[in-house]
Structure 1
C-alpha cells in the first residue's frame, strides 16, 4: 500500500482509494460496491440517513460493522415499522449492545421514520425530496484535502428536512449522505479515478 500526493492510497490490488476506504476489508468492500452508487428508493435512503445520523461523532467503520445488527434491531429500516416503535421498543434498543445505544439518536430515527411517512401524505417521498437537492454541478476536488464537508445544497437539504420534522440531519451529515448515495461524487470508483495517481 502506498499513498499518493493527492491523498489517495494505492491498495495491494493496484487500485486507488481514499485512505479511509483502505483501512479494512469491510471498508474497502463498502467503498468498492456501495459508496457513491445511486440509491433512489425510499427504504434505501431512510436506512442510509439513519446510519449517517448514528455515525455522527463516530467512525463510519464502527457503524458499518454494526449495520447487520442495526438492520435487525430496526426492522430492516422499514419506515412504517420504525414509525410505530414505542417505549418498549426504545428500551429494547437501549439494551441491545450490538448497536450504538444513544437515546437521542434512537429517538431521532423513530421521529425520522414518522416524518418519512408524513412526506407521503404531502404527495412526495424521502428519496425524491433528498434527490431534489442534487447540485447542478458536482464538486471537483483535486485531492482529498479539497473534498468539502458540506455544501450549499447540504445546508439547504438540512433546513428543509428539519422543517419537515426530521432530526439529526445537520449539513455535514447530509453532505455525507449525499456522497454515500451518489448525489454528489467527490471521488470516483477506484477503477476510474478522477485524479492522477503517482
Structure 2
C-alpha cells in the first residue's frame, strides 16, 4: 500500500506521490499534470529534448524553475525559429541570466533545432522518437527500482545522434522517454500510475498504442 511505502507520500488531497514530486508546489503541478503524459508534437518533443539536455549534471528543479525564461529565450521552442539562430543569438543567450548559460548546451540546442527541421524529410521527430516505444514499461515499487536508461533509450540515443542531434546520450534519452509518456516510471501505488493511457497499471502497452512503436529496440532509423 502507498501509505506503507516510504518513497510515497500521501498529500492533503489523498493522492500518493513519490517524495521527489512533493518538494514544492511547482514540482507537484509538474508531476500531477505533465510528467509522463504523452507528447507527440514536434515542438513539444524538441522542448523536452532541449530541457533534458540542459538538465544534464544539474537538478531538474533548476530547469523547471527556469522553464519560462527558456521558452522566452528559445522562441517558444519553435524549431524553425531556433534553427535560424546565429552567433548574435548565442551571445544573447550566454548573457541571459534567466537560463543555464552553458555554451556547449546552447549550441547543441540550436543544432538540434536544425536537425529537427531536416528530419521532416524522413518522417519527422515525433515518428522517430515514438518508434522506440517499448512493449512493456517497468513497474517500480521504490525509487531504488528506477533505472537510468534502457535498451530502447540507448537505441534512440544512437538514432538521434545519426541524425545530427547532440547532447542526447542514453540517460538524456531515457529521461525524455519518461517525461513524454514513452515509459511509465510512476511508482506502483502512485495516483499517476497508468494514468497516461499508454500503459496499463501492470506495465503492459494498451491496445490503442500497439502500432505506434516497435516491440524491440531498433538499431537503425
SS of aligned partner of 1:68: helix
- The alpha carbon displacement at 1:7 in A equals 1.5
Partner of 2:93: 93
SS of aligned partner of 2:21: helix
- The alpha carbon displacement at 1:85 in A equals 0.3
Partner of 1:48: 48
In 1, Cα distance between equivalents of 2:193 and 2:182: 17
RMSD: 1.8
SS of aligned partner of 2:17: strand
Higher relative contact order (CA 8 A, sep 6+): 1
Question: Is 1:161 paired with 2:163?
Answer: no
Q: Deviations over 1:16-55 (max 9, x none)?
A: 1111111000000000000000001011000111000011
Question: Is 1:133 paired with 2:132?
Answer: yes
Number of equivalences: 193
Partner of 1:68: 68
Partner of 1:186: 185
Q: Deviations over 1:39-75 (max 9, x none)?
A: 0101100011100001111111110110000000000
- The alpha carbon displacement at 1:9 in A equals 2.0
Question: Is 1:37 paired with 2:33?
Answer: no
In 1, Cα distance between equivalents of 2:192 and 2:45: 25
Partner of 1:148: 147
Partner of 1:170: 169
With normalisation by structure 1, the TM-score equals 0.92
Question: Is 1:22 paired with 2:22?
Answer: yes
Partner of 2:120: 120
- The alpha carbon displacement at 1:5 in A equals 2.8
In 2, Cα distance between equivalents of 1:153 and 1:16: 29
CA contact (8 A) 1:6 1:142 kept: no
- The alpha carbon displacement at 1:140 in A equals 1.8
SS of aligned partner of 1:191: coil
- The alpha carbon displacement at 1:186 in A equals 1.2
Question: Is 1:10 paired with 2:10?
Answer: yes
With normalisation by structure 2, the TM-score equals 0.83
Q: Deviations over 1:105-157 (max 9, x none)?
A: 000000000100110122x1111110100101111222221111100000000
In 2, Cα distance between equivalents of 1:120 and 1:192: 33
